[in-house]
Amino acid sequence: MKDNNNMKDHDLLLRLTQKVDDFETSINAKVDDLKADIKDIKDGVSVRLAKVEADIKRIDEFHASINAPEELGAFHKYLKRTDSLENKWRIAVALMAPIYLGVIGFILDRFFNIFR
């Protein structure tokens, strides 16, 4: 009877050992897959980070090339010029409107006098 129990225990231990080995193999395969995935993600992030750093460097170089006070002064001069032109245009239209209306009135008067 003791041999029979020992045999059952031995068989149970063998099956348990086999299950543990299968589980360990499965876990190791999954860990290896995770390592590969993490490496791919890390490489992708590194590439994206390098692109972002290059973009930042290009933007910094662009900002360094701009002479802000000079550009701002030129912009203010442009605004003053356009405001001045706009005001001149308004004055010209206001002065020319009666002349245009007089000419149109004259033409209409002559046109209607033809049919009287």
pTM of the model: 0.39
Instruction: Say what the pLDDT of residue 51 is.
Output: 93
Distances from the Cα of 53 to the Cαs of 48, 58, 62, 65, 78, in angstroms?
Answer: 9, 9, 14, 18, 36
- Residues of the chain below pLDDT 70: 1-2
Instruction: Say what the pLDDT of residue 37 is.
Output: 87
Instruction: Say what the pLDDT of residue 2 is.
Output: 65
Backbone CA torsion sign across 20, 26, 28, 31: negative
Instruction: Say what the pLDDT of residue 53 is.
Output: 94
